[in-house]
Amino acid sequence: MAIRDSVAATMQQFRAYAERARWDSLGALYSDRGDFRFYENGTLRYGSARDVRAALAALPPGMRIRTDYRDTEITPLAPGLAVASALFSSTFADEAGTQFGFEGAVSLLWVHEPEGWRILVGHSSAPVPRGG
């Protein structure tokens, strides 16, 4: 229960940092380990936490990201290791209003490092219409 609760609290921090455009704090929640990976829609999007931080730094001034999670499942795998999965809805907005939004699913492998919980591997995807 302790792992589940502490990962859930870190995910809430993640959400709050994005809503407040605290990109340095948000970027710190990604592991600097050499085996870090983050995939989007079946493609390796970020091969390092440094790549994620660069993408966050490149967001336009005033940009905020609001993400709502639902059906969140956090499963402890071992001491200091947990996987979280959820459906999400994200909206990117600046002072002028909503820029764009999308929904999908996310899975995150969280590892507990000396600084706290960090994302080691992640994947997010948006629904794709299927033929037939």
pLDDT in tens, 71-118: 999 999 999 999 999 999 999 998 877 688 899 999 999 999 999 999
90 contacts 99 by C-beta, under 8 angstroms: no
Amino acid at 2: A
Kindly report the pTM of this predicted structure. 0.92
Helix (H) or strand (E) holding 12, with range, is: helix 2-19
